[in-house]
């Protein structure tokens, strides 16, 4: 598919960290787990899984949240906005927060995880739901389906 209208620009709340996406996302996800609820202060987190090679970042960042060395949560050093999680699949991918995109109006999660911890009344719009994370063997078909059917910029 070539209709992603790349590149996309993004920034944090204060604008000190700028990001640029130059390659198509693999999947858009919502996570309802308790950790995401606490980290975002919202009902769930949104993630866009991107090839690390297609993700550029400029500005001062720092590691926060659980300080996991293998999959660090990366924040703006000044406004502390959660930007992305790196180290996905051994560093091949990053999970970026798509709400930071200059145009986030098209973003709809395709898969939702941890519906076992979902708050009552919350509807994410995802087509595929999992009680926890999808098992690794489901990712290839989810990624293939997202390439065909996933929401993209208008």
> Which residues in this chain contact Zn ion in the complex, by CB under 5 A?
12, 14, 16, 31, 33, 36, 76, 78-79, 81
CB 35, min distance to Zn ion, A: 5
**Cα dihedral 36, 40, 42, 44 sign:** negative
**Per residue, what are the HEC states of 56-113?**
EEECCEEEECCCCCCCCEEEECCCCCEEEEEEEHHHCEEEECHHHECCCCCCCCCEEE
CB 34, min distance to Zn ion, A: 8
CB 68, min distance to Zn ion, A: 13
Nearer to Zn ion among residue 26 and residue 31 (C-beta): 31
Nearer to Zn ion among residue 33 and residue 152 (C-beta): 33
Nearer to Zn ion among residue 62 and residue 144 (C-beta): 62
């Amino acid at each position: 598919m070539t209709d992603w209208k790349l590149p996309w620009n993004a920034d944090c709340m204060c604008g000190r960290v700028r990001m640029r996406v130059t390659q198509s996302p693999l999947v858009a996800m919502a996570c309802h787990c308790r950790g995401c609820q606490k980290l975002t202060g919202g009902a769930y987190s949104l993630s866009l899984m991107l090839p690390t090679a297609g993700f550029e970042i400029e500005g001062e960042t720092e590691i926060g949240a659980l300080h996991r060395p293998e999959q660090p949560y990366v924040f703006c050093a000044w406004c502390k906005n959660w930007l992305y999680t790196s180290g996905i699949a051994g560093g091949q991918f990053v999970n970026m927060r798509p709400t930071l995109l200059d145009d986030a109006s098209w973003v709809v999660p395709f898969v939702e995880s941890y519906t076992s911890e979902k708050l009552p009344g919350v509807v994410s719009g995802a087509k595929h739901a999992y009680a926890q994370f999808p098992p690794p063997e489901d990712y290839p078909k989810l990624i293939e389906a997202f390439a065909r059917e996933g929401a993209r910029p208008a």
